[in-house]
Amino acid sequence: MADVTLRDVARASGCSVATVSRVLAGTRPVGAETARRVREAADALGYRPNHAARALRGRRSGTVGLVLPQITNPFYPALVRELTHALHADGRAVLLADCDDDPVAEAEYVADLLSRRVDALLVIPADEDRSREAVAAAARGCRWS
């Protein structure tokens, strides 16, 4: 089954694509009856937002990268849990990378997450000295806005 698009929801609700977009994104006020029709059509069709497309338009991915030295450290699962819950409440997701205490893998994960255009990157260095370059590269690769 093909993904349901805004155009499909517009057709089913009898509204324009722009109106459907406004209702589902909550960016501009729309009449209550129109909003109800759009939401009902979206629910009936099983519409799910395309976060990748939204990221391209809005220059935000809705993701935060997290690079950990080793998830088996008893401290990190609680950190990941709390971060995940806080970000989810804000409509964001976590991309987690466990470098297994390897600064070379850590540098690769940092580069990979930056290439995925995460909105933020949290790095807990695996090694104070050997991780320095990866962390510096991450700082250079961030877009400050």
What are 62-90's pLDDT values in tens digits?
889 999 999 999 999 999 999 999 999 98
30-47 in b/e form (b: 16+ CB < 10 A) is: beeebbebbbebbeeeeb
Residue 65 is part of a domain; what is its CATH number? 3.40.50.2300
Write down the pTM of the prediction: 0.64
C-alpha dist (Å) from residue 128 to 56, 58, 88, 101: 35, 36, 30, 11
Residue 78's domain comprises: 61-141
Domain count, the chain: 2
Collect the ranges in the chain with pLDDT lower than 50.
1, 145
Give the 3-state secondary structure of residue 85. helix
Q: Are 10 and 16 in contact (CB under 8 A)?
A: yes
Q: Are residues 73 and 22 in the same domain?
A: no
The answer as to whether 56 is a domain residue is no
